[in-house]
Structure 1
Amino acid sequence: MLSTTTWPGGPGDRWLQNGNRPRNGKKGMGGRNLKKILLMGNPNVGKSVVFSRLTGVNVIQSNYPGTTVGYTKGHLKIGKNEMNIIDVPGTYSLSPSCKAEEVARDMFFDENPDLIINVLDATNLERNLYLTLQILEKNIPTVIVLNMWDAAKRKGIHLNLEKLQEIIGLKIIPAVAVTGEGIKDLVNIINEITLNKNIKLSKIPKMDDSEKWAFIGGILSEVQKIEHRHPSLLEKLEDASVKPFSGIIIAIIVLLVTMQVIIGIGEFLINYILDPLYYQYYGPFITSLVQNSIPTGFIHDILIGSGYEYETSFGLLTTGIYVIFAVVLPYILSFYFILGFLEDFGYLPRLAVLLDSIMHKLGLHGYATIPIILGFGCNVPAMLSTRILEGKREKFIATTLIAISIPCMAQTAVIIGLLGQYGIQYIIMVYGTLLILFITLGAILNFLLKGESPEIFFEIPPYRIPHMETLLKKTWMRVKGFLLEALPFVFLGILAINILYLIGVMGALSNLLSPIMSQMLGLPDQAIDALIMGFLRKDLATAMLAPLNLSPNQLVVACTVLATSFPCIATFIVLIKEIGIKDMLKTVVLMLSVALITGTILNIILNGLL
C-alpha cells in the first residue's frame, strides 16, 4: 500500500493557455479524471527531490518491464483527488541514446499520462529546453518547474521569467526543491488542472532538430543574461576532480574515505547492535523455541542447523537470518547511504570520466569503477550496482572480475590477520596476484567477447549539497528492494547447503577434492572444509585456515584460492539475479578454472617445484 502526501485543495493561479484538445476520447480532465502524472526532465535536474516533496515517505521502486532500469512511483492527494505520480528516468531527449532514455521514451508514449511535470535546471536552460519542446509538441498538458533558481542567481544567471512564460505559452514555476520553495505553487497548479473541465495547451509549432535549436537560441537571447562571477570553492573543486593529476589524488582520498565509512558504519552496527541482539536475545529464543517443539530430526536441523553458532549452523532461522541481517545488511545500509550521497553530490560522474580510458582497456567504461571499487567493501552491493552499466557484455565482465578478483573487506581483514605476522611481503603476494588476475582477465574477456564498450556521453552536473530527506528516502528504498530481492534466494541457498550436508553430498565432495588439494595446491585435506565454507561466508572460511598450522606459503595459496573461488552465498544469489543462470554458469566455470590454475602456479613458484 502506497502512502500519500495530502495537500489541501486550495485554488492556485489560473493558467489557461492557447489551444485546446480532448485526449484519448475524454471530454475533459476535471475532478477525478486526472489520475497519472509523469515527472520528466534531464538527468541531475532535481526530479527526485521534487518527487520526494510531492509524495509520501513510502513509495514503490520498480524496474521497467524487460529492463534493469528503475523508476519510482508514489501517490499525490490534493483534497479528495488522488493521483499516481511516476519519477521517469532522466533523459535528454525522446530520441534515446541509452537504455534509460529508451525507458523514459516508452513511459512517455505508453503510460498515457494525464499531465507531465517537466523539471528544468535553471543553470542550464539551453540543454533542458530541447526535451521541453519535444514534450510540448505531443500536446500533453504540461507544467514546467524551473528548479535550482537559487543556484542560477549565485552563478550570475538572470532569467526574465515573464518573457519566458510568454514565449513558451505555459505557466513556469521557479523552484528550489531542496528547500521546498515553489512546491506549494506546483501543487496549486495541479489542483487547478483538476478543477477545470478543459485544459488549454502551449501553441509551440512542430519543428525539426535544427529549428528547435535555433528556437532555443532565440529564447535565450531574449530571456537570459549572464553576469560574470568568480568561481566558488565548489566550482574550483569541480575542475580539480576531472584533471588527471589532482583528479587521481582526489579519487584516492574519496575512495579510501568511502570504504572506511562503509566499513566503519557496518562494523559498528554488527559489533554493538546486531551481534548482541542476536546472541543475547534472538538466538537463545529461537533455539529454545525450536528445540522445545522439535527436539531432533530433519526439520530441526533445517530450521536451526547443527549448532548455536549462527554463521556455521546452516539453519534457516539461525544462519539464514544472521547472514542477511547481521552480515550483509549493515554493509548494504552504509553502502547505499554513501552511494546516494556521492550521486547527489555529483562526484560519481567525475570519477567515471577520470578512469574511463583505463577501464576501456578491460572491456568496461568509467562507470564500472564504482561497483568494482565498492566490491572491496562488500561484493553484494557491488553486484547490485552493476545495474548502472548499460550493456550485457559490460555487466558480465564487471560481475566476473568482481567475483574472481575483488575480496570483500571482511575477508581482507582476516587475510591481513593471518599473513601479517609473517611479514607484509606475503600480503603483497596475495593482492599482487589478484591485481594481475584483474588486469589479465579483463583484457582477455575484452578480447574474447564480441562488442565494444560504449562511450560515456553525459553532462557532468555541478557539485551540490545533497538533500538529506531525499537521500534517506533513496537509501531506504534501495535497502528494502535488496531485502525483497535477496532474502528469498539466500534462504533457498542455505536450505540447499543444509540438505547437501545432511544427505552426505558434502562429505563425498570432500573426498573427491582431496587429490586436488594435496597434489596441485599443496594443502592438507582439512582445508577442504574451509573452501566449502567459503560458499557461505568467505571471511569465516579464511579464518578456518588459522588452526591448520599452515606455512606462510601455504597460507598465500589458500587465501588466494579462497578469494578467487566461489563468492559467498549472498553474492552468488545476487549474481544469479543480475546476470541470469546461463551467464552465472559461465562465470562459475571461469572462476573455478582460474582458482585452480592460479593456486597450482603459486604452489609451484612458492615451493620451488620447478
Structure 2
Amino acid sequence: MKIKNGALNKILLMGNPNVGKSALFSRLTGAKVVISNYPGTTVGFAQGRMKIGRARPVVIDVPGTYTLESTNTAEKVALEMLKDSDLVINVIDATNLERNLYLSLQLLERDIPVVIALNMWDETKHRGIDINVKKLEDQLKIPIVPTCALTGEGIRRLVNRFHEARAVKSQQSSDGEKWKKIGKIVEAIQKIRHHHHTFLENLGDLSIKPLTGLPIAAAVIFCAFLVIRFIGENLINYVFEPLFDKAWIPVLLKLSAFLGEGSFLHSIFIGNLINGEIVFKESFGLLTTGLFVPIAMVLPYILSFYLVLGLLEDFGYLPRFAVLLDNFMHHLGLHGYATIPLIMGLGCNVPGALAIRLLEERREKFITATMMAVAVPCMAQIAMIIGLVGERGGRYVALIFAILFTILIVKGLIMNKLLKGTSPEIFIEIPPYRIPHISSVLKKLWMRVVWFLKEAVPFVLLGVLFVNILYALKVIDYISRIFAPIMTGLWGLPKEAIG
C-alpha cells in the first residue's frame, strides 16, 4: 500500500514521550502548542492542518507512547487514531535508537504507510553517535529523514518524502524477537565514538542525587523566586505604572468629567475619586482598578513566572525535581510527577488543573486537585500578596507562604490517610539537560500571556463590574451590616475590611 498525494487526508505524529513530536507538529502546521523538555507535553492531542501541494491534510500530535499494546490511556488513544489515518510520521529520538525502534517495529506490522523522522539529529553529533541512515532505510524499507524540529533542519526534506512512504506490513513477531532484531539493527547502523561527559551531563547527574540534588533544588527555587520578583517589580515600577499614569489617566479624567462624579455610570466605570484624583488601587472602577490590577500588578509577575518556568522546562530540570521529591510526595499519597501540575498551578490554576490529567490514578488526581485548590496560589494571588504585604517586609510574605505550605502538607497527609489506595511508583522520562532555545521559550511565553489576557482578565472585569453594581445599589452595605459582628468580633478584622 502506497499513499498518493491527493489521498493524504490524515497524518499522525507518533513516538515515545519527549522525542520532539510537539515541536515537529508546530513546524509542520504552524499551530501554536506548548513545546517543553519534559514528558507529557501533549495532554490529549493537538490537531492542525498543513499544505502539501493542493492537499490540506489534518495533522494530529498523538500522545507519547512506548508501545501499541493498550496498557494505558495514551496507548489506547494511539491505537484508536491509527484506524483511519493515511500516514504515520514516526518521530524517533536519534540519540536513543534502541528504545525508540520498538514502537517503529510495531507500526511496521500494521497496514499503514510510515515515514521516520530521526529527530534531535544535532545532538547525535555532540554525543559522538554516528548513524548510517541509508543502512537503516534498507533494514526497515521505509523513508527515514534526519531532522531537528527546534531549528527546522530536515523538515522540508521530510515532507518531500511523504510520497515514498509505504505500508511494509512486516510479519508479526514476539517481544523477544523484536528486541533481538533491534539489537542487530543498532549494531549494524550505529557507531559510538569516545565521548567525554560534558558539564551539563555531570550537572544532570548531580541534580538527581539527594545529597547534591536537594541543595541544587533549594538554590533553583530561591533563584527562581528572586528573578520572578525582580523582573515583576521592575516591570511594574518602570513600565506599567508609568504607562497607566501618563497614557491612561488623562483619558479617564476626561471620561470622569463627562460622566459626572457621583453618577451611577461614574461609580461603575471610574469609581471613587480620591481628592479629585484617580488612584488606581483605591478608585475601584471598571476602567481604573479593574484594568490596573490584572494588567499593571498581575501581568508583570505572570510574564516573569512563565519566563522562568519556560527556561526550567526547556532546560530539562522539572523531571529531575519530580524524581528528587518522589519519596517525600509518597507521604502525601502522590508520586513526584504530581509536583509538575502544582508548579504550573503557581502560574495559573487552570493549566495546572489540565496537567493533572497526566496522572494515571483517580486518587492521585483528586489529591493533587484538592491541594492545588486549597493551598497553591496562582500568580495573580502571589502578585497581590507581594504587592500588599511586601510593603511591610519580606518576613510577612515568607510567613504567608510558610502557612500555605503547611496547609498543603497537612491536607495531603490527611487525604492520604482517608482515601483508600496507595501512591503509585514514578515512571518518568529524564531528558538530558539542553540549553533552551530562546525562540521556543518566548513563543511559549507569548502563548501563555495571550491566554491570560483572553481567559483571566475578562473574569476580573466582570467581577469588578458585578461588585460595583452591588455597591451602587447599596447591597454591599446591607451585607456588611449583617456580617459585621462576626468579622470584627470573632475574626478581629478592622471595620474598613468589611465593605
If the TM-score is normalised by the length of the shorter chain, which range does it land in? 0.7 to 0.9
CA 1:525–1:344 in structure 2 vs 1: closer, same or farther (change >3 Å)?
same
Matched, 1:340 2:300: no
CA 1:49–1:499 in structure 2 vs 1: closer, same or farther (change >3 Å)?
same
Q: TM-score, structure 1 length as denominator?
A: 0.70
> What CA distance in whole angstroms lies between the structure 2 residues aligned with 1:395 and 1:130?
33
Instruction: Return the match for 2:20 from 16, 38, 46.
Output: 46
Amino acid aligned to 1:465: I
Amino acid aligned to 1:29: K
Which residue does 1:69 correspond to in 2? 43
Which residue does 1:305 correspond to in 2? 271
Matched, 1:129 2:96: no
Which sections of structure 1, spanning at least 5 residues, go unmatched? 1-19, 22-27, 62-67, 194-198, 530-610
> What CA distance in whole angstroms lies between the structure 2 residues aligned with 1:290 and 1:522?
37
Which sections of structure 2, spanning at least 5 residues, go unmatched? 35-41
Residue correspondence of structure 1 range 216-235 to structure 2 within 5 A: 216-235=182-201
Matched, 1:138 2:110: yes
Instruction: Return the match for 1:262 from 210, 228, 251.
Output: 228
Residue correspondence of structure 1 range 372-451 to structure 2 within 5 A: 372=342, 379-381=346-348, 384-389=351-356, 390=359, 391=362, 392-403=365-376, 408=382, 410-412=384-386, 414-418=388-392, 432-451=402-421
Amino acid aligned to 1:224: Q
8 A contact 2:375–2:404 mirrored in 1? no
Which residue does 1:119 correspond to in 2? 91
CA 1:434–1:481 in structure 2 vs 1: closer, same or farther (change >3 Å)?
closer
Shift of 1:489: 2.6
CA 1:81–1:267 in structure 2 vs 1: closer, same or farther (change >3 Å)?
farther
CA 1:212–1:497 in structure 2 vs 1: closer, same or farther (change >3 Å)?
farther
Which residue does 2:59 correspond to in 1? 85
> What CA distance in whole angstroms lies between the structure 2 residues aligned with 1:176 and 1:224?
18
Shift of 1:356: 1.3
CA 1:255–1:166 in structure 2 vs 1: closer, same or farther (change >3 Å)?
same
Shift of 1:358: 0.8
CA 1:326–1:523 in structure 2 vs 1: closer, same or farther (change >3 Å)?
closer
SS at match of 2:498: helix
> What CA distance in whole angstroms lies between the structure 2 residues aligned with 1:102 and 1:268?
48
> What CA distance in whole angstroms lies between the structure 2 residues aligned with 1:140 and 1:494?
55
CA 1:503–1:210 in structure 2 vs 1: closer, same or farther (change >3 Å)?
farther
Which residue does 1:361 correspond to in 2? 331
CA 1:209–1:508 in structure 2 vs 1: closer, same or farther (change >3 Å)?
farther
Amino acid aligned to 2:68: L
Structure 1 range deviating more: 290-299 or 209-218:
290-299
Shift of 1:101: 5.2
> What CA distance in whole angstroms lies between the structure 2 residues aligned with 1:211 and 1:486?
53
Amino acid aligned to 1:321: L
8 A contact 1:305–1:313 mirrored in 2? yes
Instruction: Return the match for 1:504 from 474, 480, 495.
Output: 474
Which residue does 2:429 correspond to in 1? 459
Amino acid aligned to 1:53: R
> What CA distance in whole angstroms lies between the structure 2 residues aligned with 1:302 and 1:107?
51
CA deviations on 1:330-357 (whole Å, 9 max, x unpaired) are 2222322322222221111000000111
The CA RMSD measured in Å over matched residues stands at: 3.3
CA 1:368–1:40 in structure 2 vs 1: closer, same or farther (change >3 Å)?
same
8 A contact 1:314–1:495 mirrored in 2? no
Which residue does 2:37 correspond to in 1? none
**Percent of counterpart pairs with the same letter?**
49
8 A contact 1:397–1:445 mirrored in 2? no
8 A contact 1:45–1:147 mirrored in 2? yes
CA deviations on 1:377-416 (whole Å, 9 max, x unpaired) are xx45255334322243133233134347997254146435
Which residue does 1:490 correspond to in 2? 460
Amino acid aligned to 2:145: I
Q: TM-score, structure 2 length as denominator?
A: 0.84
CA 1:333–1:341 in structure 2 vs 1: closer, same or farther (change >3 Å)?
same
SS at match of 1:86: strand
8 A contact 1:35–1:82 mirrored in 2? yes
CA deviations on 1:442-486 (whole Å, 9 max, x unpaired) are 211222344444432122111112223233222222332333332
8 A contact 1:368–1:398 mirrored in 2? no
SS at match of 1:526: helix
Shift of 1:498: 2.2
Which residue does 1:275 correspond to in 2? 241
Relative contact order (alpha carbons < 8 A, sep ≥ 6): 1 or 2 greater?
A: 2
Amino acid aligned to 1:440: V
SS at match of 2:280: coil
8 A contact 2:142–2:166 mirrored in 1? no
> What CA distance in whole angstroms lies between the structure 2 residues aligned with 1:78 and 1:429?
58
Amino acid aligned to 1:178: L
CA 1:124–1:258 in structure 2 vs 1: closer, same or farther (change >3 Å)?
same
Matched, 1:321 2:291: yes
Amino acid aligned to 2:373: T
> What CA distance in whole angstroms lies between the structure 2 residues aligned with 1:131 and 1:451?
32
SS at match of 1:38: strand
Shift of 1:121: 0.6
CA 1:98–1:467 in structure 2 vs 1: closer, same or farther (change >3 Å)?
farther
Matched, 1:215 2:189: no
Amino acid aligned to 2:305: F
Aligned length: 482
> What CA distance in whole angstroms lies between the structure 2 residues aligned with 1:106 and 1:301?
56
CA deviations on 1:14-73 (whole Å, 9 max, x unpaired) are xxxxxx26xxxxxx6333x323322222222122332343343x6378xxxxxx925444
> What CA distance in whole angstroms lies between the structure 2 residues aligned with 1:460 and 1:178?
19
> What CA distance in whole angstroms lies between the structure 2 residues aligned with 1:105 and 1:169?
23
8 A contact 1:345–1:466 mirrored in 2? yes
8 A contact 1:374–1:381 mirrored in 2? yes
CA 1:60–1:321 in structure 2 vs 1: closer, same or farther (change >3 Å)?
farther
Which residue does 2:144 correspond to in 1? 172
Amino acid aligned to 1:384: P
> What CA distance in whole angstroms lies between the structure 2 residues aligned with 1:70 and 1:321?
34
Structure 1 range deviating more: 143-152 or 34-43:
34-43
